[in-house]
Chain A
Amino acid sequence: MTELSELTDAATAADPRAGLRAVRALGRLLEHLERTQVDRARAAGWSWQEIADVLEVSRQAVHKKHARR
């Protein structure tokens, strides 16, 4: 798996900075993907509970994070 080896290469690079930045960037990307998909699910009429079930987190967690953003 190329991606995995590249990921481990980056994560174990001599300068930890590059790997740490990759971690930060992935976190931001995850955040963007989550917001987009939660918004889309809500627009499609999904309940908070349904969204929480697929994300495998509590309804409260999803609601708290996304309901008032």
Chain B
Amino acid sequence: MFERFTRNARGVVIGAQEVAHRQGAAEVRPAHLLQSLAAQGDVLAMRVLADLGAPGDEVRRVVGELGAHYSAGLDGEDAAALELLGIDLDEVIRRIDQDLTGGPAPTPKGHQRFSRQSKKVLELSLREALRLRDGFIGTEHILLGLIRVDDHTVRQLLAAFDLDTDDVRRAVDEADRRAG
């Protein structure tokens, strides 16, 4: 499947592994794919978001502010509630990501395992490419995959710009039609 990815889309996938490694995460989650996508600069997916009022700089800022707990499916309210119990959520998530027995994270650099959700994102991006009759998988299809997988971080990002999934889907479809 990887050979169908455009050069930019490959950059997103490889970059996501690097993001996950940098954060000490045990696996590549959709949030890491999103962070990597946002870091790509001038790619179609980011141009679509910019046209929707979510320019790259702003997207990177919002995504960067989402703490480690977001990628685990917990939000800021959860973090605050757990603080009442004396639990530092980001610290707990960090420890879960490492090996609980104190050993190193089980995956070496560059070979971060993709979580099931992340694999689903990539599968869905393929399906989106097929739906749009594109013979390749580009960043715009990864963006649609991220949206379809219903990831918490992606929802938070869209909410920050007052967008919903239909807005993004329509915009990608339109951009795809224009690109021919």
Contact = CB atoms under 8 A, between A and B. Distances in A.
Contact of B81 (A24, A33, A39): A24
Contacts, number: 63
Given A28-B74, A29-B92, A22 B116 contact: no
* Residue in B26, B87, B97 with the greatest tally of chain A CB atoms within 10 Å: B87
Given A18-B81, A29-B92, A39 B116 contact: yes
Contact of A32 (B81, B86, B87, B93): B93
B74 A32 contact: yes
Interface residues of B, number: 25
B82 A26 contact: yes
Contacts of A7: 85-86
Given A9-B84, A21-B81, A29-B89, 20 more contacts: A2-B86, A6-B85, A21-B78, A22-B81, A22-B84, A24-B81, A25-B81, A25-B82, A29-B74, A29-B78, A29-B82, A32-B72, A32-B74, A32-B93, A36-B96, A36-B97, A39-B27, A40-B106, A43-B113, A69-B116
Interface of B: 26-27, 72-74, 77-82, 84-87, 89, 92-93, 96-97, 100, 106, 113, 115-116
